[in-house]
């Protein structure tokens, strides 16, 4: 199709010939007024602008026929996002009103609701172990129902929460259940493990992990972060709570629940994600909206024919408007 661009200089030559013919015809008139009238009002460069716009529009149209493509940022209409939510006992703390758990669930529901269609969401809950509460699905109602069912339990196993989320994204890498909270991906045979890739290079999947950061059970969270990095999966961590924390009691036991940010920052750094601090329910909502904009855009090689067709139509429209405004005619 690009060979058709040879028509552009041909059309330009025709335009020059037409101008010369008009000039010869104009010389037949007896007065300069008639010459000016024949050539058009306001001769000079302005006289040729509509013609240039027409030729440019033709060239752009021909390029559009060749169906060009380019790598550009586009809204992602597919992908997998796993919400890995801390449901440990410390999430009962009320330093975020009404409680950390209630604020997390409310913000998670908001985040899922505003995401575009086609994104697959999964939900992992972790406390002393990690469980896939909702396998990845595009059915938002199932995801919202899974979030509503979450209830605080005991202990915190952040590493298990990460590994369970990875299992949900790459189910073929592990043939065993995640409920034991050991190291699901490490059980896979060596030949099942894909070669390591650059951290954060997988733009089709991401994990959003919410926790108060006090891991006291299961595998090392940083080892789990290394596995996520090797698979190219970004982990966005959100620290839930305040530095002052809150007092909690379970029967005879009581403790002070505070936000430990160091581990969550390291997880985000290792995987190419980002860490966010959530000190209130409103902070959580803002963070989720920020994550939405990060997760919606990705680089894709896509056909840009429609963009060029729109540009060509714009050039032809501008040509017509200027021709009529300046000369009361087209070209």
Pair 165, 267: CB distance under 8 Å = no
Q: ∠ at Cα 220 (215, 226), nearest 5°?
A: 125
Residues 184, 78, single domain; the answer is: yes
pLDDT score of 185: 46
pLDDT score of 37: 53
Residues 229, 107, single domain; the answer is: yes
Residue with tokens 């405004």: 325
pLDDT score of 220: 92
Residues 162, 262, single domain; the answer is: yes
Q: Which residues are bridge partners to 42 per DSSP?
A: none
**Token pair recorded at residue 45:** 């460069």
Host domain of residue 281: 74-301
Residues 313, 261, single domain; the answer is: no
Range among 25-39, 75-89, 232-246, 311-325 rated most confident: 311-325
- How many alpha carbons lie under 13 Å from residue 207 in its C-beta half-sphere? 36
Give the number of domains in the chain: 2
Residues 290, 323, single domain; the answer is: no
Residues 54, 85, single domain; the answer is: no
Q: Calculate the alpha carbon distances from 47 to 118, 121, 231, 322 in Å.
A: 51, 59, 61, 10
Mean pLDDT for the chain? 80
Handedness of CA 74, 117, 162, 93 (dihedral sign): positive
Residues 49, 119, single domain; the answer is: no
Bridge pairing between strands 234-240 and 275-278 = parallel
Residues 87, 196, single domain; the answer is: yes
Residues 202, 185, single domain; the answer is: yes
More confident residue, 151 or 192: 151
Q: Calculate the alpha carbon distances from 96 to 92, 101, 218, 269, 288 in Å.
A: 10, 9, 26, 25, 16
Residues 35, 179, single domain; the answer is: no
| Global confidence as pTM | 0.62
Return the CATH number at 269.
Answer: 3.40.50.410
Pair 198, 232: CB distance under 8 Å = yes
How far out from the chain centre does Cα 189 lie? Answer: 33
What average pLDDT does the segment 102-119 reach? 84
Residues 41, 157, single domain; the answer is: no
Could you give the residue ranges of the DSSP H alpha helices within the chain? 7-26, 32-39, 45-65, 100-114, 140-149, 158-169, 184-187, 221-230, 262-271, 281-296, 305-327
Picking from 237, 284, 289, the residue whose alpha carbon sits closest to that of residue 98 is 284
Picking from 154, 160, 275, 170, the residue whose alpha carbon sits closest to that of residue 221 is 160
Pair 305, 64: CB distance under 8 Å = yes
Pair 86, 232: CB distance under 8 Å = no
Residues 46, 158, single domain; the answer is: no
pLDDT in tens, 62-81: 999 989 888 766 555 557 89
Cβ burial, residue 160 (10 Å; 0-12/13-18/19+): buried
**Token pair recorded at residue 33:** 């007024």
pLDDT score of 42: 47
């Amino acid at each position: 199709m690009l060979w058709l661009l040879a028509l552009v200089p041909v059309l330009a030559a025709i335009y020059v010939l037409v101008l010369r013919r008009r000039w010869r015809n104009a010389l037949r008139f007896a007065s300069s007024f008639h010459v000016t009238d024949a050539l058009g009002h306001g001769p000079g460069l302005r006289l040729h602008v509509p013609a240039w716009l027409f030729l440019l529009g033709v060239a752009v149209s021909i390029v559009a026929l060749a169906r060009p493509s380019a790598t550009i940022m586009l809204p992602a209409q597919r992908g997998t996002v796993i919400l890995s939510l801390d449901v440990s006992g410390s999430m009962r703390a009320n330093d975020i009103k009404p409680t950390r758990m209630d604020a997390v669930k409310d913000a998670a529901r908001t985040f899922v609701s505003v995401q575009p269609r086609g994104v697959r969401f999964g939900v992992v809950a972790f406390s002393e172990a990690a469980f896939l509460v909702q396998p990845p699905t595009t059915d938002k109602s199932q995801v919202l129902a899974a979030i509503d069912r979450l209830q605080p339990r005991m202990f915190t196993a952040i590493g298990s929460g990460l590994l369970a989320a990875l299992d949900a994204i790459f189910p073929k890498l592990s043939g065993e259940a995640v409920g034991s909270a050991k190291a699901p991906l490490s059980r896979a045979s060596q030949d099942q493990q894909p070669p390591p890739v650059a951290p954060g290079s997988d733009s089709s999947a991401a994990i959003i992990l919410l926790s108060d950061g006090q891991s006291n059970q299961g595998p090392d969270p940083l080892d789990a972060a290394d596995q996520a990095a090797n698979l190219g999966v970004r982990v966005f961590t959100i620290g839930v709570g305040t530095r002052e924390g809150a007092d909690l009691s379970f029967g005879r036991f009581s403790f002070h629940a505070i936000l430990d940010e160091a581990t969550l920052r390291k997880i985000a750094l290792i995987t190419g994600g980002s860490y966010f601090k959530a000190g209130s329910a409103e902070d959580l909502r803002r963070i989720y909206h920020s994550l939405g904009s990060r997760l919606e855009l990705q680089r894709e090689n896509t056909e840009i024919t429609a963009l060029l067709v729109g540009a060509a139509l714009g050039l032809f429209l501008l040509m017509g408007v200027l021709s009529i405004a300046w000369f009361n005619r087209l070209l």
